[in-house]
Structure 1
Amino acid sequence: MSLQTVLVVDDERDIRELLTITLGRMDLQVDAVGTVGEAKRALAERSYDLCFTDMRLPDGTGHEVIELIAEQHPDTPVAMITAYGNVDAAVSALKAGAFDFVSKPVDIQMLRRLVRTALKLAEEKRGEGGASTGGGSSDRLIGDSAVMQQVRATIGKLARNQAPVYIAGESGVGKELVARLIHEQGPRASGPFVPVNCGAIPTELMESEFFGHKRGSFTGAASDKEGLFQAANGGTLFLDEVAELPLHMQVKLLRAIQEKAVRPIGAREEVPVDVRILSATHKNLAALVDQGQFRQDLFYRINVIELRVPPLRERRGDVPLLAAHILRQLAAKSGMAPGRLLPAAQQALDEYDFPGNVRELENVLERAMAMSDGESIDAADLMLPQRASRPAFDAGIAAPSATVAGAIEAAPPATPGSGVALEDYISNLERTAIMKALEESRYNKTAAAKKLGITFRALRYKLKKLGID
């Protein structure tokens, strides 16, 4: 069996020798050249399994090498060699099509991990003709609309490199699912996928959660703890709601991404980590940069490639497919036959805007399954929000929103006299009103509590009492 080959393009003899020795010890055959012209001649004579190229070369730039390989040898991953701390160069290389980057001085362990990942990717692309490796997992991204076909095609492309991806989209569109598919269809699929909601971590615990800590480093640190970066080592770290990170953590996160290393609290040395970063938020990150609420350097670092996931109202033709899929899932969980949407119910779904997107559709159908008399679901069972207005309450208490008011008015007219216990009747009213408030506020519990005119603590109690997840 012939050895796998690597092309190294760098005008520094020390770097060429270091890479030649290191890669040679990994049973790889290395061709090392010092100029763009020499690289072009080498690529014309043979194909390579991997290429390393410096950014600045005597007769050109590494971008020329990247573009040439992308055009003539699309199955060959390219890694850019950049100066220490040169984030702009790294981002530029990734946007040009580089698989990943390595900083000078070269960390040998990091280099070896990068090589193994890149060669695995190259083998998969050649073995499967460039097809994605996620098997049937992409079937979970339901929809035949043109925009969803484009999203799936983009996921397949993004899975084949290591560039940071920023997933933009409204709440409930499925940004985490998209991130998981990018992970599953790429060379890191066998590694961990670690999702984290940046808005759910208390500020004072963020550094420990992300980077870990050593025993005794602060009060309560009874033992060593690995952080999220270490947990995702060899895989993917998905930073959901990344806009919620405070500025001081944005600085630390930028350094961790840039240096590919973290320093646990109380540790003397940094720990190398091999992690691909995917991030997402429903907010306008560029606007937050302009307002000084999000660091521009971090924005450019995580937003090398942006993937927008469309809201449900922009792909209404996918609603029937999604609804059928969700009803089958609900039936599998409950052990019942799948619910069937009557024509009036399907029409109501088709005409509704779904501000909460796919997540709201799931909740609407789950509630409809519970409220319908049999397997058939009619429009009334959906209990979609009504756009009726109600006068505000007095005494400074917030008035219920139009959708909450509609939910209360649309509640079942059952009374204790019709065979329904008073407690159950009241619980049904509360459940209906709370679900509508959550849907209208896009599942922001604080906003929902304001719409209902109750405290956040009271809402949390009622959610637990009523079994609403």
Structure 2
Amino acid sequence: MARVLVVDDEPSVRAALKELVQGRGWEPLVARSGAEALDLVERVDAVVTDFSMPEMDGMELLRAVHERDASLPVILLTAHGSERLAVRAIKAGAYEYVTKPFDVDEMLVALGRAVEARLLRQRNRQLTAEHAIGRRVVCDSAAMRTLLDATARVAAKEITVLVRGETGTGKELIGSLLHAQSPRASGPLVRFNCGAIPAELAEAELFGHTRGAFTGATQARPGFFAEANHGTLVLDEVGELPLSVQAKLLRALQDGEIQPVGSGRVERVDVRIVACTNRDLASEVRAGRFREDLYYRLAVVELLVPPLRDRREDIPALAHEFALRYADRFGSEEVRLAPALVERLAAADWPGNVRQLENVVARMVALSGGGELGPESFDGRPADATSPDAAARGDPGPVRDEPGPPPDGADAASHTLREQLDALERSVIARTMTAVGGNQSEAARRLGISRNTLTERLRRYEIAADFGAGDAR
């Protein structure tokens, strides 16, 4: 449903326009002044405003609206005899003007054209973004349409964005859309999972390091900030960053400066940050686990991705999209989801959200011989694998080793230093392999070791088997 903002200081005109907008099937928002209207413009598809108002007139409101969103159509209401002012407003960017007292049909035509133009621009922008990210954006729910609309508006602004949501809701999709619809779309999009590697390596991964900066650093390498220069850096699970690294991230945000580990040289970078988290960072701040100043730097705009249980209208469209995607990926015959199966999927609980739904559909497609899938295809069990392809193979996914105690959970005192170091090294390598999806070349690069050395370590610690032969790239 399109939303139209009505701005007029006369109650009778506001009431008449509100009724007209409602009768057209749109949602009206009402403001009595220009200042009040500016608090609402982020939520609407068109604005109709009186020209003559106290404090802020229609021309001033037009300029203020277009400073925030140059594509938002504004229709001006002018009194008879002020057409010259109206023409000046058109030259300043107004979409249309209508004289008062207005003709209902004339106003409906003007509003209809304005709303249609706005929605067409939004659709074109979404199609361009879908082409850029290489996937369709599927949503039928009002909650997701509102989120995507907000994402498109925020994308055009050079501000830091915090994307919050439960695991599997699609925060990474929002990060990709923010980049694809931004002026930085031609630059690099780089992702860094703050929780996928040990805290000891997080600083070097983000800001880079020199040769010999630490054990295993056989060559210098740029960090993710340098790789994302003139583009966007998406920090997944930013709440996992240790406090020591948070301080250096704050400096990078404030001053655009980074210092590689082991270097005395400060480097300038131009990077937009999109931070994603499944945590309530405000609560983390109160608990002392997250810096308050960094939180406010990251959450200039905060976007909340709703869980799948709050947007069940999206489940049928998502399920059909995943069925098409994985039938093509697995080389299956055409797969169709029977209405009864879709009903079962829509009624199911999805604690893992969209990612869990995707995994389940991938598994059903992989196990089918094509054709129509009935409700018996869905046994109600969640897919526990970490990726749809792993779910389709029936694999439990990569082993996610955590750094910590030595093998068998024994006390550190019962193991030699060599055994403890081996345990730590195995943990670091396993987590890095998990972060790169088993890509050995990328893992070796991130770890700062040669491919041969990594291969030897994988064999020694029996890690390679965790990722399968298909991942040994």
Contact 1:198 1:240 in 2 (8 A): yes
**Partner-residue secondary structure (3-state), 1:219:** coil
Provide the residue aligned with 1:352 in structure 2: 348
SS at match of 1:199: coil
- Aligned partners of 1:236 and 1:275 also within 8 Å: yes
State whether structure 2 residue 53 is matched by structure 1 residue 70. Answer: no
Could you say what the CA RMSD is over the residues aligned between the two structures, in angstroms? Answer: 3.9
Give the counterpart letter for 2:201 in structure 1.
Answer: L
Match of 1:273 among 269, 272, 276: 269
Distance change (3 Å), C-alpha of 1:355 and 1:238? same
Aligned partner (choices 290, 299, 302) of residue 294 of structure 1:
290
The counterpart of 2:129, out of the listed 123, 128, 137, is 137
Report the residue type matching 1:297 in the other structure.
D
CA-to-partner distance for each residue in 1:229-273, whole Å, 9 max, x for gaps? 000000000000001111111111111111111011222221000
Deviation, 1:343, is 2.8
- Matched residue count: 303
| Residue in structure 1 matching 2:159, options 163, 169, 189 | 163
Q: Letter of the aligned partner of 1:278 in structure 2?
A: V
Distance 1:326 1:309 in 2: 19
SS at structure 2 position matched to 1:200 = coil
Q: Give 1:225 shift.
A: 1.1
Alpha-carbon shift at residue 130 of structure 1 (Å): 8.6
Shift of 1:212: 0.9
| 2:361 pairs with one of 365, 368, 376 | 365
Show CA shifts across 1:153-207 (max 9, x none): 1011111111110001111111111111110101000000001110012211111
2:313 aligned counterpart, secondary structure: helix
Tell me, yes or no, if structure 1 residue 224 matches structure 2 residue 220.
Answer: yes
Q: CA deviation at 1:136?
A: 3.3
Which segments of 5 or more consecutive residues in structure 2 lack a partner in the other structure? 1-59, 71-119, 385-391, 403-426, 431-460
Amino acid at match of 2:128: G
CA distance in 2, matches of 1:190, 1:464: 33
User: Are the aligned partners of 2:333 and 2:369 in contact in 1 as well (CA < 8 Å)?
Assistant: no
Aligned sequence identity (%): 41
CA distance in 1, matches of 2:258, 2:311: 41
Q: CA deviation at 1:358?
A: 1.0
- Cα pair distance change 1:373/1:245, threshold 3 Å: same
The residue number in structure 2 matching 1:258 is 254
The structural deviation recorded for 1:444 is 9.8
Whole-Å separation in 2 of the counterparts to 1:188 and 1:156: 13
1:317-375 Cα shifts (integer Å, max 9, x gaps): 11111111111111221222331112331121011021111111111011111233542
Consecutive unaligned residues of structure 1, counting only runs of 5 or more, are 1-65, 77-127, 387-402, 405-429, 448-455
Please give the alpha-carbon distance, in whole angstroms, between the structure 2 residues aligned to 1:230 and 1:257: 13
Structure 1's 223 and 255: CA in aligned 2 closer, same or farther, altered over 3 A?
A: same
Distance between the aligned counterparts of 2:295 and 2:61, measured in 1?
A: 25
1:464–1:262: structure 2 CA closer, same or farther, 3 Å change rule? closer
- For 1:223 and 1:461, the matched residues in 2 are separated by 24
Q: 8 Å contact 1:215–1:222 — kept in the other structure?
A: yes
Over 3 Å counting, the alpha-carbon distance change for 1:132 and 1:227 in structure 2 is farther
Query: 1:149: which partner in 2?
Result: 145
Q: Which amino acid aligns with 1:271?
A: E
In the superposition, relative to structure 1, how do residues 252 and 308 fare at CA in structure 2: closer, same or farther (>3 Å)? same
CA distance in 2, matches of 1:468, 1:317: 36
**2:235 match:** 239
Pair 1:158–1:331, CA change in 2 (3 A)? same
Q: Secondary structure at the match of 1:237?
A: strand
User: Which residue in 2 is equivalent to 1:308?
Assistant: 304
Q: With the length of structure 2 as denominator, give the TM-score of the two structures.
A: 0.57
Residues 468 and 373 (structure 1 numbering): CA distance in 2 closer, same or farther, change over 3 Å? farther
Q: Check if 1:212 corresponds to 2:208.
A: yes
Matched ranges for 1:424-439 at <5 A: none
Residue 213 of structure 1 deviates from its aligned partner by 1.5
